[in-house]
Amino acid sequence: MPVWKCNNCGNTIDVASPPETCPSCKERCEFVDVSCYIPDCGGPEGGTINTQVYQESYKADKK
């Protein structure tokens, strides 16, 4: 199952397709698929999250 990250608050959820509203921040957000699709990408959740995609997917205006 894919792992989706809210591009607003960074919350991750494991669902087949992302919701329209984030369950964490309650906003209509863009969700990014941060799933690990290669065996050696690692990740904080036992290899289920691609950390490179996760880190690069935050909005450019967040600092």
Give this prediction's pTM: 0.70
Q: Which domain holds residue 62?
A: 1-63
Beta bridge partners of 12: 5
pLDDT of residue 63 exceeding 60, the answer is: no
Q: How many domains does the chain have?
A: 1
Confidence category of residue 53, pLDDT binned at 50, 70, 90: confident
pLDDT tens profile 4-14: 999 999 999 99
